[in-house]
């Protein structure tokens, strides 16, 4: 379905954005880990309408993930500790990419390595695979024993990972940052300097929940990552801070449930957004957000989504 001319009054505002050479029809992407490999949502969502699909984090070898219970709902959100269960690179390339290849929507592969070398190997092999528009480098997963958030918490480590990935592929590189850091601007700059083409902010906030009756943690790993509307104000603040510190595009993620939420991120400086937990609540959330952003642009006289990016009237 074309987004143009849905309402009377001529062509609609321009919704397309460019993230490091990846051409998105609109700024709304499905976030990694919340949209599977696309096929899970295909019966309910026209995947061709999405700005991009970011696939579930992939590692070189399959990973079995953490023991259950892996999720718990909290006020305004949920804590997860999936532990990057995934089919591994080989099965991903062989079984999952061909399905996604049927659609016009760019596919961005989220990659995760336990070592710098593994990140490089993933980037190299995905760069040789058709059907991948870009990589999202996950240096921010709070739920794995090695790698993960450790890479994203230290500017030097982050720099090393991104530099290795940069040398291993010509694909556009998005680097997904953790909120569990003291100074997001420092990490963002390190990533930019190492050759990252864009930055996505943020991964989940480290969190926990307890059952007072049993005095047991509600997740097997005790600590997990909080997502959902509860984290939006934190994510928005980090996007604002990072967008002021780097020149590369920033992609906003964190508790986006509605078009209004997405607009807040864009105004704060995000060139695009990712929708995560909302997909669980409402499988069609991305589509409603796309329509809502377009309606806002139209109603407020914007001809191009780009006019809105970073347009916060701060003073």
The two three-digit tokens of residue 145, written as one number: 């024993």
Nearer to another protein, 17 or 278 (CB): 278
How many Å apart are CA 209 and CA 222, to the nearest integer?
A: 8
Contact positions vs another protein (CB under 8 A): 33-36, 40-41, 43-44, 56, 61-62, 64-65, 67-73, 75-78, 80, 82, 85, 87-88, 90-91, 94-95, 228-230, 257, 277, 279-284
How many Å apart are CA 247 and CA 118, to the nearest integer?
A: 28
Nearer to another protein, 41 or 151 (CB): 41
Whether 286 is catalytic: no
Question: Least distance (Å) from another protein to the CB of residue 39?
Answer: 9
Question: Least distance (Å) from another protein to the CB of residue 13?
Answer: 28
Nearer to another protein, 57 or 249 (CB): 57
Max CA distance (Å), the chain: 62
Question: Least distance (Å) from another protein to the CB of residue 125?
Answer: 13
Nearer to another protein, 58 or 184 (CB): 58
CA-based radius of gyration for the chain: 18
Catalytic residue from among 89, 141, 275, 297: 141
Distance, CA of 118 to chain centre: 20
Strands 205-208, 223-227: pairing kind: antiparallel
Question: Least distance (Å) from another protein to the CB of residue 210?
Answer: 15
Nearer to another protein, 113 or 228 (CB): 228
Question: Least distance (Å) from another protein to the CB of residue 260?
Answer: 13
Catalytic residues: 141
């Amino acid at each position: 379905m074309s987004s143009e001319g849905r309402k009377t009054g001529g062509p609609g505002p321009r919704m397309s954005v460019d993230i490091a050479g990846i051409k998105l029809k609109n700024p709304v992407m499905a976030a990694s880990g919340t949209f599977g490999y696309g096929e899970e949502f295909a019966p309910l969502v026209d995947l061709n309408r999405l700005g991009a699909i970011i696939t579930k984090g992939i590692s070189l070898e399959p990973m079995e993930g953490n023991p259950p219970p892996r999720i718990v709902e909290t006020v305004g959100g949920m804590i997860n500790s999936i532990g990057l269960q995934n089919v591994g690179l080989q099965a991903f390339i062989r079984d999952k990419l061909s399905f996604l290849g049927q659609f016009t929507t760019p596919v961005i592969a989220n990659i995760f390595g336990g070592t710098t070398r593994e990140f490089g190997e993933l980037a190299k092999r995905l760069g040789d695979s058709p059907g991948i528009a870009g990589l999202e480098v996950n240096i921010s997963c709070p739920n794995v024993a090695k790698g993960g958030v450790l890479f994203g918490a230290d500017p030097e480590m982050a720099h090393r990972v991104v530099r290795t990935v940069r040398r291993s592929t010509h694909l556009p590189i998005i680097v997904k940052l953790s909120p569990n850091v003291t100074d997001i601007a420092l990490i963002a700059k390190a990533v930019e300097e190492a050759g990252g083409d864009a930055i996505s902010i943020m991964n989940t906030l480290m969190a926990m929940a307890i059952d007072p009756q049993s005095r047991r943690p509600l997740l097997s790993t005790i600590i997990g990552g909080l997502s959902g509307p509860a984290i939006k104000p934190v994510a928005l603040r980090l996007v604002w801070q990072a967008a002021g510190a780097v020149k590369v595009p920033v992609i906003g993620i964190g508790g986006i449930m509605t078009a209004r939420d997405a607009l807040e991120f864009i105004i704060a400086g995000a060139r695009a957004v990712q929708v995560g937990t909302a997909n669980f609540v409402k499988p069609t959330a991305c589509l409603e957000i796309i329509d809502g952003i377009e309606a806002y642009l139209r109603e407020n006289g914007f001809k191009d989504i780009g006019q809105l990016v970073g347009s916060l009237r701060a003073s």
